[in-house]
Amino acid sequence: MLLDKLRFLHQLRIILASGSPRRKEILETIKLKFEVIPSTFPENLDKSKYTPIQYVIENARLKALDVYKGEVSKWKLSSDKKAKIDLVIGCDTVVVFRDQILEKPKTQKEAKQMLSQLSGSTHYVTSGVALIRPNDDSLEHPIVETFSQQTQVVFAPLTTQLIDAYVETMEPMDKAGGYGMQGIASQFVTKIDGCYFNVVGFPVQLFCEKLTTFLNLDDNVSDKEKEQKENI
């Protein structure tokens, strides 16, 4: 967990390569300090070439790399060496129904079709996360770690009238699978098995575990605390 490591983490330049307000809110909830620099990666991968887990991991990796490379280029041209990157976080989340990947609906009609599919059924929310940090030997070849998490979600049966009313709120339009677990659609869910925050858009508990290892936080924090005590 990160709570006892925040003092160390707050000294790092951390970037979230996503404009998602939900991911931003989740990371702010655990008191992480970071910048938001949305990736410009077009997310146009051919779904037929990937399993759902491979798909979200590759999207997350390419999003994070897009931002990392852009910021490294800026840093090289900058006189402000404090702008060096310590960590970039990329993430991608999709809904998977019967091996079909459902992303954000492009139209209200598509949103209604997605919700009709999910009605009275079980689906999986799948997130991929990429962590990137500089390689001391080469900034151009950073160290990358990826991981994924799946959460099972069961929907109650939804009537056509209920789906129409929900889509009219426009809540589905910026959310994978056409619904927001933390919003109005919470009333559709009869069961969830796994991480709630993963359904919202970011697997925060697993992220904390992976980040601790990725940045070697246990050793780094201990060394920093020891150094501070010696300076007192």
Q: What positions carry a catalytic annotation?
A: 92
DSSP alpha helices (H): ranges in the chain?
6-9, 21-29, 52-77, 108-118, 160-168, 196-200, 204-214, 217-230
Measuring CA to CA, how many Å separate 91 from each of 66, 94, 227? Answer: 12, 10, 34
Give SS3 for 159. coil
What single DSSP character describes residue 5? G
Q: How many CB atoms lie within 10 A of CB 195?
A: 19
Residue with tokens 């992976």, as numbered in its chain: 210
